[in-house]
Amino acid sequence: MKRKPAKRTNNNRKSNSGSSIGRLFRYLTIFAFIGLFLTAAYHYRRGLAYYLGFKSHKVSEKEIEDKRLSDVRNFQVLAKREGKSVGVDVSEYQGKISWSYVDTLEQKYPIDFVFIRATVGRDRKDFQFKRNWIGAKENKMIRGAYHYYRPNENSIEQANLFIKTVKLEKGDLPPVLDIEKLPKNQSLDSLKKGLRRWLLKVEEHYKVRPIIYSGERYYADFLKEEFSEYLFWIANYNFYRERIEEDWLFWQFTEKATVPGIKTTVDVNIYNGDLQQLQFITVD
């Protein structure tokens, strides 16, 4: 004899419905807690960063000591600058700069000029160049643009990228070629030919002779004799040097200065003359 199938009751449906609502409620609660946690973490991000930095105090102490030593030398150099003009140079590594606050070093020494990285090699523009270029002008600073030269890339392509990127105006500083590396796949003679091609191409376009930036050793070993017709911007951070050399146009004497409006440390430079003389070398 066949049994009649039992009728389904609504109790099962209610049970399934109740468990689904319970799961949904638990998920919503979990998401709410995650949202609150992320919101709190963002709100207190600076405090968390400070806490984490405090926990790694050994690194911080070394950095603080290095900064103290750098500050001592910076004071010595600036105190002996003898009325010479002071400026900085920046790139995307300084992040977003609040240009309206960039005015003095150590609340005492006015910042008259800034060099801004524009291009790198044959195909890369500095991510912050446009913003920095406009910001410096709005802040009424004398500005200049520089190109970071890659020895193993075509020099004319590098020059063309710089020319396409940088529109110099009256009152801007001459363009700068930054050369710091030795070539890997070419001779020194080939490197020097490439540098000269870049310099001539850029001079032809802007009708002003570029400045060459490099480290003191690189300058002495590879550039001083063969590029003697050019003016040089030299980097030297050694403690024994406290004054600019007579044949240097600019001297980058530190990479660890603190400037209002810039979150990271920054390079500082001395021009071998006063503000009026600096204005004299700008583009007409």
Q: Catalogue the active-site residues.
A: 89, 180
Give the residue among 228, 229, 195, 194 at the shortest CA–CA distance from 209: 229
Q: Are 105 and 135 spatial neighbours (Cβ–Cβ below 8 Å)?
A: no
- Structure tokens that stand for 238 in this block: 């050694």
* β-strand partners of 178: 148, 213
Strands 211-215 and 266-271 turn out to be unpaired
Which DSSP symbol is given to 243?
S
